[in-house]
Amino acid sequence: MRKGIAAIWLLLALTVMAVVAVGCGEVESAGTTGQPVSTTAPAASTASTEAVATTEAVVTTQAPADEKTVTDMAGDKVTLPAEVKSVATFGAIGVLNAMVETMASGDRIVNQMSARFTKGDQWKYQYVFAPQISDGPLFENADGELQIEAVLEAAPDLCLCMSKETVTALRDKGLSVVYLEWKTLDDVEPCVTLLGEALGRPEVAEEYLRWFEETVSKAEALVADIPEEERKTVLYGNITSYTQPHYIAEWWIPEAGGVSVTKDRPTDGESYEYTVEDVLLWNPDVMVTSNAKMIGEIKADARLADITAIADNAMYSIPTVAHVWGNRTPEQPLTIMWMMNKLYPDVMTTEMLADEISHFYEHFFRTQLSQEQIAEIIG
């Protein structure tokens, strides 16, 4: 009998132990699914709490799936939609549009060009690359003042500008604004990479940077054997007002095998002013103007009649396609080839130049130019 009672007590003891074991297993399992754990081990509980807090912090700093964050060229972080569908450009609209179009995204530009770009037909190719802008809203008046109501009504996903003052004005209205710079060669890669990231076209950005490097290298090889004493001197810019508008011309002229007569200019300013006396002293072999009208005005100036470029009729108007080729533009390597064609047509033939132009706009702008259009660009 006593043995039977002992057996019963043993069975009960084993049952209790099993229940306790199952209970402990449930507490452990609950801990792995994020539920509160026993406070009998404070250190372990504190560690678990810290781990949960850290996880939450990481989650809150990540952009939602429908957003992305980019860092612009002023170092500011900008939150954008994951897919940018509409782009607005401000201020330097010509070059900014050209940048967007180079990224095969010209169809996303929503705004019309402001009045200073539409007085003549100089910018007509903008309406070839992005025809929808002809019906777009104006975001700046003739004086360059922001038309903020029109901008807010359009609500673009991305605003692009090269003025920090404009950045502030637009951000104060809650708009997503990316600041860009393209002043020197050092700006090309970060600017293009940023655009590719913002527009969701990183592969196009990479292709463009390869094309840029390969085209410049090709140009350097073509002019490498031209002796220094045979290289032609070049004056570029707004010659009738005696200004060279962009420092970057001091790069593309020598890359084309020429010698810029303004090469010794100060480097602390984008624009450089000179005098008619300077032009007479320099006596350039070639003159390149920023628009065609200027050529006639220069020829009419009797003081310049003996300048070699005028006497030899070696005067050309720089093309404006997406932007003015002589100024900062993603088309810049084409500027080198065009200038080389004018300086040394046996080195860069018109046929070679036409192929370069056709390939660039078809590959990056997704636009096939006609032979007539290419001939007009070459001049």
| pLDDT of residue 274 exceeding 80 | yes
Q: Kindly give the interhelix angle for 188-198 and 93-102, rounded to the nearest 10 degrees.
A: 70
- pLDDT band for 247, please (50, 70, 90 cuts): confident
Across the range 236-254, mean pLDDT stands at 92
Q: Do 257 and 372 fall within a single domain?
A: yes
190 and 233 inside one domain: no
Q: What pLDDT is attached to residue 139?
A: 97
Mean pLDDT computed over every residue of the chain: 85
pLDDT exceeds cutoff 70 at 137:
yes
pLDDT for the residue 268 = 62
Q: What is the CATH number of the domain that holds 121?
A: 3.40.50.1980
Domain hosting 172: range is 67-200
Residues 6+ away with beta carbon under 8 Å from 137: 110, 111, 112, 147, 150, 151, 153, 154
User: What is the rounded average pLDDT of the residues 44-50?
Assistant: 33
| Contact criterion met (CB below 8 Å) for 315 and 379 | no
At 173 the pLDDT is 97
Same domain, 229 and 374: yes
pLDDT exceeds 50 at position 372: yes
Residues 368 and 232 in one domain: yes
Check pLDDT > 50 for residue 50: no
Q: Please state the rounded mean pLDDT for residues 305-316.
A: 97
Distance of CA 203 to the CA centre of its chain: 14
Q: Is residue 270 part of a domain?
A: yes
| Among the ranges given (2-16, 68-82, 250-264), the one the predictor scored with the smallest mean pLDDT | 2-16
Whether residue 244 sits in one domain with residue 368: yes
Same domain, 84 and 229: no
Mark which of 155, 183, 200 sits at the end of a domain.
Answer: 200
How many angstroms from the chain centroid is the CA of residue 118? 23
Task: Give the C-alpha separation, 57 to 223, whole Å.
Answer: 58
CA angle at 145 for the pair 191 and 75, rounded to the nearest 5°: 30
* First CA to last CA distance, the chain: 120
Consecutive H or E run containing 167: helix 164-171
Compute the average pLDDT of residues 356-375. 98
Q: Which among 185, 200, 215 is the end of a domain? A: 200
**Is the predicted pLDDT of residue 81 greater than 80, yes or no?**
yes
Number of domains in the chain: 2
DSSP calls for 53-102: HHHHHHHHHSPPTTEEEEE-TTS-EEEEESS---EEE-SSHHHHHHHHHH
